[in-house]
Amino acid sequence: MSRRLLLTVAVSTAALAAQSLNWVRQYQAPSSYRFGASMVYDSLRDRIVVFGGVTTIFGSGYTLLADTQEFDGFRTVTMSPTSSPPAGAQTAVYDTVRRRMLLVAGPAVMTTWEWDGVNWTLLATGGPSPRLQPQFAFDSIRGKAVLFGGADNLNWANRLQDTWEWDGSSWTQVAGGGPPPRSRGAMSFDPQRGRSVLHGGEGSTSGFFGDTWEWDGSTWMQMATAGPGPRITHAMTWNGSRGRTVLFGGVEQAVGYRSDTWEWDGTAWSLLDSGRPGPTPAAGPALAFDSARDRLIKCGGADTSGSYDASWCLTTLVPQAAAFVQYAASCSGPHGHLALSTVSNAPAIGTSFPVWVNSLPDPVAGPAFLFFGFDTAQWNGTPLPLSLDPFGAPGCLVHAAPIASVPMSVGPGGGYANIAVPWDGNLLGLTFYLQVGAVIPGFNAAGFVLGDSFRAQIGL
C-alpha cells in the first residue's frame, strides 16, 4: 500500500500520539499468511529469506509449506530451487561465517540444509536425535550453530535437554544438561557478549517456562527468572542497531496470545511499550534484523481465530518537522481569498490535523469541501494549474490533482475540518496539497469558489 493511499484512508482514522521507537506497518514484505516460518536476514545478498511454516484456517485443517521467498526491501520473489527441505518442522539461522541460511529439518529424520540464494543443498543427515521444535541460534564469534532441546519425535511429551553444535561440516553434542528440558522456546545470539540467549519454552510436565539462560560455548548459566511471562512459540533475534536481544509475542501461560515486545541487555529484560499501534497478538511469528536498513522485521504469526498478522518493522522514527505553507493563490470569494490555517505543529503522525478556512459568506450560502492532492504537474493528463474560467469560475485555479475530499463544518464566516493522521511511520515526510472549495450560489456562473492552495508535510 502506498503512502498516498495511506493518507487517503487516514481521513477517518483515530488520532494517536507520537514516540520515537515504534512498530511500523511493513506493506512490502514476505507473505504473512503463515506461522512457524523460518526467517533470516542474508547480509551478503541483502535479502530477508523466508522458508516454510504452516498456513491454516483453524478448524479447517492446515497446510505445511515448503516454499522459499526472498524480500529485497522493496519486493518479494518466490524462488524456484531444484531441491528443498521437507515441509513441516524446521528451524533456521544465518551462518555469518559461511554466509548462508542454515536450516535444520525434522522430525522423523534430522537433516541439515544450506541456502545460497539459488538452491538448497543437503549438508548432513543425522546428528541430533529425531525431534521437533528445538531452540536454535548461530554463534558468530565461534562460527558454530547451537541447537538445544526440542520434543522427542518418538514421544512428543518427552522434552530433551541436550546441546549440539554444527561447525559447518558435522554435528557434535557438547552438553547433556543445563536448562530444564524444553521445546518451543526461543533462542538468539548476542555478539557483543558472545552468548546464545535462551528464553521460555514448554517442559515435559512443568508447563511453560519464563526463565532466561545463556550458553557461552562451554557452560549454560541461568541469568533471569523475571521478564517476559512463561511462554511458547515466541520469536527472538538480535537488534544490532540497539545492541539488544529482542523478543516478541507468543502464547503466555494463563494469559494467551501476546503482542508484547521486550529487550534483553544481558542483565535484565525491559518492556518496550510505546502505547502505539503495533502487531496483533500472535503465535509463531518470525523475526529478523535487516542491518542494511536498520530495522527489525516481523513476519506472520496467527491467533486462535486463524487470523494472520501483517508484517511490521521495529525502527527508530527520526523526528521531522511538520510544514503547512501557502503554495499558490487562486480566486477571491465575496469576502476575499479562501485561505487555510492550522495549528503550529500540524500535520504530525498520531495527531489530529485541524484545518480552518475564513472568508466564507455570512450567512452560510452552501457547503464547503477540503480537497487533497499530491500531483501538481498534471490531472488526468491535463497540465496544472488548471483554470476554471471555462467552467464559470473566473480566476479559480486547480493547483493539485484532487484524489479525495472531506466535507467541512461551516458556520458564520468560516469552516472547519479535523483530520486524524494515523500513527504510521510510513507517512513521515509525506507532502500533499490542500484546497478548499465552497458552493456560493450566484457569486459567479458556476456558483463555486476554489481557495488558495497550501502545501503540507507530515512530521513527528
7 backbone dihedrals φ, ψ, rounded to 5°: -65, -40
- Mention the CATH class of domain 323-457: mainly beta
Q: What is the pLDDT of residue 18?
A: 33
d(CA 451, CA 368): 10
Q: What is the pLDDT of residue 416?
A: 94
Q: What is the pLDDT of residue 6?
A: 42
Quickly list DSSP for 155-186: -TT-EEEEEEEE-SS-EEEEES-SSPS-BS-E
Q: Which CATH architecture has domain 20-316?
A: 6 Propeller (2.120)
Q: What is the pLDDT of residue 290?
A: 94
Below-70 pLDDT ranges, the chain: 1-20, 56-60
Best CA proximity match to 50, nearest among 77, 83, 89, 23: 77
Q: What is the pLDDT of residue 14?
A: 30
Can you read off the three cell numbers belonging to residue 103?
536450516
Q: What is the pLDDT of residue 423?
A: 83
The model carries a pTM of 0.78
Listed by start position, the domains of the chain span 20-316, 323-457
